[in-house]
Chains A and B, each alone.
Chain A
Amino acid sequence: MAGISAFSTYLPRYRLPRAVIAQHWGSHALPGERSVANHDEDSLTLAVAASQNALGVPSRVALDGVFFVSNTAPYREKLVASSLAAVLDTESATRTLDFTDSLRAGSGALFTAFDLVESGQQERVLVATGEVRPVAPDSMDEKAAGDAGAAVVVSRDAGGVELLSRASVTEDFHGTWRTDREDYLRSFPGGLDAKFGYGRIMPQVLHQALEGAGVQAEQISRAVVCGSNPRAIGAVVAKIGIDPMQRLQDSLWGVVGDTGVAQSLLLLAAALEHAQPGELILWGVYGDGADAAVFRVGDQVSAGLPEQRLEQQIEVKRTLDAYGKYARFRKFVKSEFPELESSSAAVLFRDRKEMLPLYGGRCPKCDTLQFPINRICVRCTYEDGLEPIPLPRRGTVFTYYENHVLPNPDPPLIEAVIELDGGARFFCQMTDVAPADLHIGMRVELVFRRYHDAGGIHNYFWKARPAAAAASEERG
């Protein structure tokens, strides 16, 4: 029996109030705020952060399948699931797939994971999503959108969240789309999608899923239905006999925004954080047709809870009070600064143990943990090689500076020497941090981020940011 055994969300720390966007463009104001990926976050880093939130670091489970879900993958031709598997250090992951090109890519990936686990082909499959929504400056979409990640693990373990039924409808319909030549999302103006797309297809597929499970709408504890705005979602749910005020999972539109392809797993994981054993959950995902499913929450659901709950992530935030920084984050503003960085596929290959899974070395003689994996121990000069070992991801700022010389979308660039728990020293950029909060002794966590695009390569590595606990203390 396959079931969801772990689940998580990931919200970037930045928020942009919709009033700030409206004020910048002189356009119509909307309530609430949206989440914004930092300049060094992309769909892969969001998926990594969500996966780590679900799995812990080091990973609590061995994965043999890793699926990456996004419509904003960092590469057009190159697998991203393989990068995700490398960061998570899942050497045994034999099946890595990217699911993309539709708002329904998340449900497609989850159903595929269930198929593979139920059929016995895979033991444990991670489905992780991340999306930095490609929305045009000065558009409605810019205000409505949000960036997020989420992850679920489907495994053969008993007691997880079972799939009772599922239904799928495919329709070739231009709801939300983006051609291969365009940078930003489009949708047809007016009520076409509401009347003949979403408003027609979604109730139909939700019905089918209920029928397939042999349950009535009244038996559903929570409806988790995706959609571009709360009003449309409420209308659909009401149509199948569920009171949106009572039993509808919050779309997070007010505090996160419409996260597109990430929404399906984000809202499912959010609902599961509060689900009780025995409850039934109805799930609906729209896009080029629609997918729906009925889940039954198993006895062991609480074993799948993430390290950081969604509520905590909603609270720990940094609010952008001007549009300019967001414009730089999304590269609307071009820099004429000379390109100083370089990259080499050969170096990244050679250093692959250090780069993505972040291994250091432990000296077999003097036990010193160090980075990089030196040939000869930095402390005792033991010459016969260090034992590669994953570095701890938490530590303390030993010393730091603000670099006011190099341009940075979130200036000043902060770099710090980190004393990792276990004693290794690490030097890296800091992110998601206010300079005024910086101090020697600050507790930090290492996060996987995109450093730069050089040599035609997205160059990822690790940065430090205030640990979640430290960030909430500073906040209040």
Chain B
Amino acid sequence: MSLKNRVAIIGAGCSRFGEHYDKAAEDLIVEAAQEAIADAGIERERIRAGWVGTISSALSGNALSDPLKLTGIPITRVENYCASGMDAVRNAAFSVAAGMYDIVIALGFEKMRDATLGGLPAPHPVKDNGEAPHVFALSAHRYFANHGASKSTLAKIAVKNHRHGVLSPKAHLRMEVSEEKVLNAPMIYSPLGLFDCCPTTDGAAAVILCRADLAKQLRDDPIYIKGMGLSVSYGAPHYDPTFDYDGFAATRQAAGQAYEQAGISAKDLDLVECHDCFTITEILNYEDLGLCPKGEGGHAAEEDRFALGNALPVNPSGGLKSFGHPVGATGVRMLYELTQHLRGDAGERQVPNARLGLAHNLGGMGAVSAVTVLGNEL
């Protein structure tokens, strides 16, 4: 069974992303949800179920019900590392495809800047997992050794995504950076410096899903889910004797599922929003998503192959790098971004004539990946 053409996005909303010391999670959730509901042009009473993705900002369905005062309907909290938001959408889509509900909401959010230090708690007294950069820094050193890339290769990703982010009104870091600035930034997890890392961001994003066969009654330009994949691989790759630190099976598998459901391949895509939590991740994503052959991601970065204006722009929003990465929000924010482009509403950063777009999350130790393909035609 495929999700293809069974579920439509009829509304999308996104809060301004940033370092919102003056806003609570409630403010961000309300901002995103109100925009999505207004965009759908529906009364909120028509929403019959909800899914909310957050990694650690709140527990339970109350994370959504309480800010919105949306009570008396089923709401489920979804947590799946950085794929939490997209997985919330995925579960919401299943409920609609199953015929259980006509209209549902899926929202992702994270309030990260209330803490003094980011990072996930260590669950074991001494068996280290490291923090967010862990598997990506380890992969970067292997990538350098295997494929001849360097810190300068990584910097090209930061320069591109910051350039795109300037065109995104809701992005966290709307500033261009030079390669020199990237290379001279303080080291975080070697070889990843400050500008190789996405920021920690506050934000929320929401979509309203509807049965595809009813969508045209509500708006002229619904966006259709063409495929959704999710894959979970071994969460402790550092203990896996077969793990090569040269890309992520979870991405390859989730993308494979989504492409198969959509009946397309990477060459059919018009734009991609991929999980550039660190610059090296975007390079590995190019290869894992099939946008370029294995080992060629660094070369593609160096020639700026996936910049806006070229055949296949990657992260026209600015990506996690510039738009920001409120963990639970990011997957939903990507679907918001694709929706804007597929409707032709993306303003200065619009990818011309976009018909098919892909969004990709990668979480934890590179072990949880979600991929969604959206299209603007049935």
What CA separation (Å) do A401 and B117 show in the bound complex?
20
Are B238 and A401 in contact (CB-based, < 8 A)?
no
Are B187 and A425 in contact (CB-based, < 8 A)?
no
Are A370 and B245 in contact (CB-based, < 8 A)?
no
Tell me which of B119, B124, B187 contacts A402 (CB under 8 A). B187
Report if A78 contacts B (CB, 8 A). no
Are A412 and B127 in contact (CB-based, < 8 A)?
no
Are B128 and A415 in contact (CB-based, < 8 A)?
yes
Are B125 and A403 in contact (CB-based, < 8 A)?
no
Interface residues of A in 371-392 (CB under 8 A from B): 371-372, 378-379
Are B239 and A378 in contact (CB-based, < 8 A)?
yes
Interface residues of A in 389-431 (CB under 8 A from B): 398-406, 412, 415, 417, 419, 423-429
Report if B213 contacts A (CB, 8 A). no
Interface residues of B in 171-194 (CB under 8 A from A): 186-192
Given contacts A340-B122, A341-B122, A417-B245, contact A404 B189 (CB under 8 A): yes
Are B125 and A344 in contact (CB-based, < 8 A)?
yes
Are A338 and B126 in contact (CB-based, < 8 A)?
no
Q: Which of A62-70, A207-215, A292-300, A451-459 contacts B (4 or more CB under 8 A)?
A: A451-459
Are A401 and B240 in contact (CB-based, < 8 A)?
no
- Proximity string of chain B (112-133) to chain A, C-beta cutoff 8 Å, 1 when within and 0 when not: 0000110101101111101101
Interface residues of B in 119-174 (CB under 8 A from A): 119, 121-122, 124-128, 130-131, 133-134, 137-142, 145
Tell me which of A348, A417, A435, A455 contacts B138 (CB under 8 A). A417
Interface residues of A in 336-365 (CB under 8 A from B): 338, 340-344, 347-348, 351, 355
- Sort A-B residue pairs by CB-CB distance and give the 9 closest, nearest first: A427-B238, A401-B137, A461-B126, A402-B190, A343-B125, A399-B138, A401-B189, A404-B187, A399-B141
Query: Can you sample 21 A-B contacts with CB below 8 Å?
Result: A342-B121, A369-B241, A372-B239, A378-B239, A379-B242, A401-B137, A401-B141, A401-B189, A401-B192, A402-B189, A402-B190, A404-B187, A415-B128, A417-B138, A423-B241, A425-B238, A425-B243, A426-B238, A440-B145, A451-B125, A451-B126
Residues of chain A contacted by B134 (CB below 8 angstroms): 401, 415
What CA separation (Å) do A415 and B186 show in the bound complex?
18
Residues of chain A contacted by B117 (CB below 8 angstroms): 338, 340
Residues of chain A contacted by B124 (CB below 8 angstroms): 347, 351
Nearest Cβ on chain B to A426's Cβ, whole angstroms: 7
Report if A368 contacts B (CB, 8 A). yes
Tell me which of B121, B137, B241 contacts A425 (CB under 8 A). B241
Given contacts A427-B239, A440-B141, A440-B145, contact A404 B190 (CB under 8 A): yes
Are B142 and A440 in contact (CB-based, < 8 A)?
yes
Residues of chain B contacted by A402 (CB below 8 angstroms): 187, 189-190
What CA separation (Å) do A163 and B127 show in the bound complex?
45
Are B131 and A405 in contact (CB-based, < 8 A)?
yes
Contacts A342-B121, A399-B141 known; 5 new A-B pairs at CB < 8 A: A404-B186, A406-B131, A423-B241, A427-B239, A452-B126
* Residue from B137, B186, B190 with most neighbouring chain A CB atoms (10 Å): B190
Q: Identify the closest chain B residue to A405 (Cβ).
A: B188
Given contacts A399-B141, A403-B130, A425-B240, contact A348 B125 (CB under 8 A): yes
List A residues at the B interface (Cβ < 8 Å).
338, 340-344, 347-348, 351, 355, 368-372, 378-379, 398-406, 412, 415, 417, 419, 423-429, 435, 440, 451-452, 454-455, 457, 459-461
Are A372 and B189 in contact (CB-based, < 8 A)?
no
Residues of chain A contacted by B142 (CB below 8 angstroms): 398-399, 440
What CA separation (Å) do A340 and B131 show in the bound complex?
12
Tell me which of B125, B188, B243 contacts A454 (CB under 8 A). B125
What CA separation (Å) do A424 and B242 show in the bound complex?
9
List B residues at the A interface (Cβ < 8 Å).
116-117, 119, 121-122, 124-128, 130-131, 133-134, 137-142, 145, 186-192, 234, 238-243, 245
What CA separation (Å) do A217 and B369 show in the bound complex?
78
Q: Identify the closest chain B residue to A397 (Cβ).
A: B141
What CA separation (Å) do A351 and B187 show in the bound complex?
35
Q: Identify the closest chain A residue to B115 (Cβ).
A: A338
Q: Identify the closest chain B residue to A414 (Cβ).
A: B190
Residues of chain B contacted by A370 (CB below 8 angstroms): 239-241
Nearest Cβ on chain B to A365's Cβ, whole angstroms: 15
Residues of chain A contacted by B139 (CB below 8 angstroms): 399
What CA separation (Å) do A224 and B131 show in the bound complex?
51
What CA separation (Å) do A279 and B117 show in the bound complex?
63
Are B125 and A425 in contact (CB-based, < 8 A)?
no
Q: Identify the closest chain B residue to A372 (Cβ).
A: B239
What CA separation (Å) do A405 and B186 show in the bound complex?
10
Q: Identify the closest chain A residue to B244 (Cβ).
A: A398
Are A405 and B189 in contact (CB-based, < 8 A)?
yes
Given contacts A399-B141, A451-B126, contact A340 B121 (CB under 8 A): yes
What CA separation (Å) do A414 and B190 show in the bound complex?
9
Given contacts A415-B130, A429-B128, contact A338 B240 (CB under 8 A): no
Residues of chain B contacted by A435 (CB below 8 angstroms): 190
Q: Identify the closest chain B residue to A344 (Cβ).
A: B125
Tell me which of A371, A378, A401 contacts B133 (CB under 8 A). A401
What CA separation (Å) do A435 and B141 show in the bound complex?
14
Are A400 and B138 in contact (CB-based, < 8 A)?
yes
Q: Identify the closest chain B residue to A402 (Cβ).
A: B190
Nearest Cβ on chain B to A462's Cβ, whole angstroms: 9
Are A398 and B122 in contact (CB-based, < 8 A)?
no
Residues of chain B contacted by A406 (CB below 8 angstroms): 131
Residues of chain B contacted by A427 (CB below 8 angstroms): 128, 130, 238-239
Are B234 and A378 in contact (CB-based, < 8 A)?
yes
Nearest Cβ on chain B to A415's Cβ, whole angstroms: 6
Given contacts A340-B121, A341-B122, A415-B128, contact A378 B241 (CB under 8 A): yes
Residues of chain B contacted by A344 (CB below 8 angstroms): 125
What CA separation (Å) do A355 and B240 show in the bound complex?
18
What CA separation (Å) do A460 and B127 show in the bound complex?
10
Tell me which of B126, B191, B238 contacts A459 (CB under 8 A). B126
Are A412 and B190 in contact (CB-based, < 8 A)?
yes
Are B240 and A459 in contact (CB-based, < 8 A)?
no
Are A355 and B126 in contact (CB-based, < 8 A)?
yes
